[in-house]
């Protein structure tokens, strides 16, 4: 949801801002802009991708060593030049970029209009800059004006502010939207996320909610809402910049798909030492005593991460016999969920910043529940606010559609489920040793699936013109089918629906016609025969069938038009193997249709608004 970059130092700001914004484009890409100070603030902004902004900047040179930039995912007002950020006050002396939503913007706007302020755009953000302007006129002090403005603003924000009359500083402020400060030498940075500044520094401050920073060339002062100075620890980024680059692959998504064997290994093996017959879950205490005090588990997340929750529910209930509710965070928080000290909540998030997931976490904590987060981005808000964090070690995921982060989340969920099962004595030492052996074999089994990439590409081209695609499965396969259908919708823009295999005949089967495609997932062997019967029902009504099956289950060949086989593993872990063909299938269809795989239309990777 919108990317922010700010620079103050001795170098030309424009190239630094543009490069930073490029690495934040995953947060939104419908318009972009920069403001740079050089005697006065000059701004260039435009509708469309960053490349449009770059073209515009080729014709208008913007010099200066202090500036702010923004890449947008529209919430208020369509993507257009005028709605793009930065937004300015009427005299163009204050410029502001914003990520988040100002909920009371209508009230503030009316008030400001009554005071003679004119608005050019339809955005909520313009209200913020006009409000800063309003207070600046009273105090002639930018910091005071920003403080006064944020006291009035309801909603979420990460702001970067630049002022003509105080050109020695940038002001940054955050509430419920991520913002970091990069610490350089003789230069400093602000950004929505680490990749934007990693080329310049590995040392950063993570701003917390309701913190304000004054950033100059030499200094960074961070304060609370009462202007008390906060001494923050420096956070050192350990991962490498090339982890956030394409490295020869056509798309980030393909690179990330191919990284999965490593990601799975990295996420699993440190938690599965070979010299101890137990799982070490970082600092998470999930002992028998803790678990016996729990009477219910919620797994809450959004999008792809919510499908990890469905797998988790299935595994934990089957193994540990504790009731688990898996829910999407946007619904969960409005259901008056029953939360207390006997509740364990597991939240799952790649970014660690998703607004609804964060709100669910806060709701649970307020009610006294214990919250474990499964998060990919180290130091993100969710990872910091949860009682415990189990990091997925997937490295930066840049493609908007999640692939490697999902596989890593599944691994984390396998570990948690096994750990809970062991503590509750539902999994014996012998069984654990067997499971550990299988987990160690997963990366090479994933490699084997990836080796079928060319064959899957051919299938993608064969079925590229399918009209309606149905993904079906039972048990664990049903959870995996959700992710398969989502990938196809997200990047190929094909109508795809997941269904519990047995449910199809209760309605959706009416949609089946000659050009329909059914992707039948059959790796959950306990229900294999039943799923195969459901596949036959659809085949008989004219659909093409692409099945995904475990090696050896060759009778499916007689029913399906095509079959992708994946290696056999323990039933608990089939989800990860079965999903890889779904990723490749969606990827190649998207490429074949000429879509922008890494930046699909209308989407953003990090959704920091409700
Ligand atoms: C967005 C992304 C999805 C992602 C979801 C949850 O909708 O486009 O790919 O699954 O947010 O994001 P999170 O960072 O919480 O996993």
Task: Give per-residue pLDDT as tens, 280-304.
Answer: 998 888 888 889 899 999 999 999 9
Q: Residue 301's pLDDT is what? A: 98
First to last CA, the chain: 11
Backbone angles phi, psi at 34, to 5 degrees: -140, 150
- Asked if the domains at 255-441 and 452-592 fall in one CATH topology, the answer is yes
DSSP string over 471-483: EEESTHHHHHHHH
Would you call 2 a catalytic residue per the annotation? yes
The answer on pLDDT for 65 being more than 90 is yes
The answer on pLDDT for 239 being more than 80 is no
Nearest ligand 1 atom, CA 402: 9
Q: What is the pLDDT of residues 94-129, one digit of tens each?
A: 999 999 989 999 999 999 999 999 999 999 999 999
- Classify 456 as helix, strand or coil: helix
- What's the rounded mean pLDDT across residues 66-89? 91
Q: Residue 571's pLDDT is what? A: 97
Q: Residue 558's pLDDT is what? A: 93
Q: Which of 128-132, 178-182, 426-430, 539-543 has the lowest mean pLDDT?
A: 539-543
Distance between Cα 381 and ligand 1 center (Å)? 15
Would you call 530 a catalytic residue per the annotation? no
- Identify the CA nearest to 404 among candidates 505, 489, 305: 305
Report how far apart, in Å, the C-alpha atoms of 489 and of each of 40, 351, 563 are: 46, 21, 22
> CA 305, 586, 195, 163 torsion: positive or negative?
negative
- What's the rounded mean pLDDT across residues 168-181? 95
- What's the rounded mean pLDDT across residues 571-594? 98
Q: What are the tokens at 469? A: 């695609």
Distance between Cα 595 and ligand 1 center (Å)? 20
Q: Residue 604's pLDDT is what? A: 81
Catalytic residue among 175, 445, 599, 605: 605
Q: What are the tokens at 23? A: 């690495």
SS3 per residue for 544-589: EEEEEEECCCHHHHHCCCEEEEECCCCHHHHHHHHHHHHHHHHHHH
Distance between Cα 144 and ligand 1 center (Å)? 36
> CA 224, 353, 2, 191 torsion: positive or negative?
positive
Give, for ligand 1, the residue of 26, 303, 307, 392 to mutate: max count of ligand atoms closer than 8 Å to Cβ: 303
Ligand 1 pocket residue status of 349, Cβ below 6 Å: yes
Nearest ligand 1 atom, CA 351: 14
- Identify the CA nearest to 572 among candidates 354, 445, 411: 411
Ligand 1 pocket residue status of 607, Cβ below 6 Å: yes
Domain spans of the chain? Answer: 3-245, 255-441, 452-592
CATH code that applies to domain 3-245: 3.60.20.10
Distance between Cα 302 and ligand 1 center (Å)? 6
Question: 493: how many CB neighbours lie within 10 A of its CB?
Answer: 15
Instruction: Report the alpha-carbon distance of residue 342 to residue 398 in Å, rounded.
Output: 37
Distance between Cα 72 and ligand 1 center (Å)? 17
- Per the listing, tokens 């489920």 go with 417
CATH code that applies to domain 255-441: 3.40.50.10490
Ligand 1 pocket residue status of 303, Cβ below 6 Å: yes
> CA 404, 409, 410, 415 torsion: positive or negative?
positive
Distance between Cα 607 and ligand 1 center (Å)? 7
- Identify the CA nearest to 85 among candidates 117, 133, 58, 53: 53
The answer on pLDDT for 243 being more than 80 is no
The answer on pLDDT for 509 being more than 90 is no
Ligand 1 pocket residue status of 354, Cβ below 6 Å: yes
pTM of the model: 0.84
Give, for ligand 1, the residue of 29, 253, 304, 406 to mutate: max count of ligand atoms closer than 8 Å to Cβ: 304
User: Average per-residue pLDDT in the chain?
Assistant: 94
Backbone angles phi, psi at 353, to 5 degrees: -130, -5
Q: What are the tokens at 265? A: 């290994």
Instruction: Report the alpha-carbon distance of residue 275 to residue 363 in Å, rounded.
Output: 39
Nearest ligand 1 atom, CA 377: 14
Would strands 370-375 and 388-391 be described as parallel, antiparallel, or unpaired?
Answer: parallel
Nearest ligand 1 atom, CA 409: 16
Catalytic residue among 2, 65, 302, 411: 2
Q: How many residues does the chain have?
A: 610
What's the CATH class of domain 452-592? alpha beta
């Amino acid at each position: 949801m919108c990317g922010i970059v700010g620079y103050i130092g001795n170098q030309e700001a424009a190239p630094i801002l543009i490069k930073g914004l490029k690495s934040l484009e995953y947060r939104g890409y419908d318009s972009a802009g920069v403001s740079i100070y050089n005697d006065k603030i000059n701004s260039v902004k435009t509708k469309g991708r960053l490349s449009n902004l770059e073209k515009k900047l080729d014709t208008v040179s913007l010099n200066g060593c202090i500036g702010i930039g923004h890449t947008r995912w529209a919430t208020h007002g369509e993507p257009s030049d005028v709605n793009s950020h930065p937004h300015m006050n009427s005299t163009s002396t204050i410029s502001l970029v914003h990520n988040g939503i100002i909920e009371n913007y209508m009230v503030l706007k009316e008030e400001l209009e009554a005071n003679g302020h004119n608005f050019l755009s339809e955005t909520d953000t313009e209200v913020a800059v006009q409000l800063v302007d309003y207070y600046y006129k009273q105090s002639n002090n930018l910091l005071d004006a920003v403080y006064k403005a944020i006291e009035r603003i309801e909603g979420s924000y990460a702001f970067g502010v630049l002022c003509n009359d105080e050109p020695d500083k940038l002001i940054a402020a955050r509430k419920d939207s991520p913002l970091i400060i990069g610490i350089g030498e003789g230069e400093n940075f602000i950004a929505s996320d680490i990749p934007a500044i990693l080329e310049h520094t590995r040392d950063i401050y993570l701003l917390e909610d309701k913190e304000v920073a004054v950033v100059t060339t030499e200094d960074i002062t961070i304060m609370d809402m009462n202007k008390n100075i906060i001494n923050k620890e420096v956070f050192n980024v350990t991962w490498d910049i090339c982890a956030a680059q394409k490295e020869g692959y056509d798309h980030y998504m393909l690179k990330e798909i191919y990284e999965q064997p490593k990601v799975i290994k990295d996420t699993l093996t440190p938690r599965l030492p070979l010299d101890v017959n137990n799982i070490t879950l970082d600092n998470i205490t999930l002992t028998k005593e803790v678990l016996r005090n729990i009477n219910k588990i919620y797994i809450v997340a959004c999008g792809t991460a919510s499908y990890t929750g469905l797998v988790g529910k299935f595994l934990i209930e089957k193994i540990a016999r504790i009731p688990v509710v898996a829910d999407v965070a946007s619904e969960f928080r409005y259901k008056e969920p029953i939360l207390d000290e006997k509740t364990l909540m597991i939240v799952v998030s790649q970014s660690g910043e998703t607004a609804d997931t964060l709100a669910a976490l806060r709701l649970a904590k307020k009610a006294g529940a214990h919250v474990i987060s499964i998060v990919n981005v180290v130091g993100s808000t969710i990872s910091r606010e949860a009682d415990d964090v189990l990091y997925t070690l997937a490295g930066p995921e840049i493609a908007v559609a999640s692939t490697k982060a999902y596989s890593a989340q599944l691994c984390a969920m396998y570990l948690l489920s096994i750990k809970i099962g062991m503590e509750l004595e539902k999994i014996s030492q012998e069984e654990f040793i067997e499971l550990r052996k299988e987990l160690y074999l997963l990366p090479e089994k994933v490699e084997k699936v990836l080796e079928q990439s060319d064959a899957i590409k051919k299938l993608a081209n064969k079925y590229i013109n399918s009209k309606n695609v149905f993904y079906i499965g039972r048990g664990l396969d049903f959870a995996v089918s959700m992710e398969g259908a989502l990938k196809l919708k997200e990047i190929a823009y094909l109508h795809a629906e997941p269904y519990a295999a047995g449910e199809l005949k209760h309605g959706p089967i009416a949609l089946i016609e000659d050009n329909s495609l059914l992707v039948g997932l059959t790796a959950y062997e306990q229900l294999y025969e039943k799923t195969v019967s459901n596949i036959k029902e659809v085949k008989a009504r004219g659909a093409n069938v692409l099945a995904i099956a475990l090696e050896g289950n060759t009778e499916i060949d007689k029913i399906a038009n095509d079959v992708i086989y994946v290696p056999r593993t323990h039933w608990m872990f089939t989800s990860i193997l079965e999903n890889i063909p779904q990723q490749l299938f969606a990827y190649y269809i998207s490429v074949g249709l000429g879509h922008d795989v890494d930046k699909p239309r209308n989407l953003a990777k990090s959704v920091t608004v409700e």
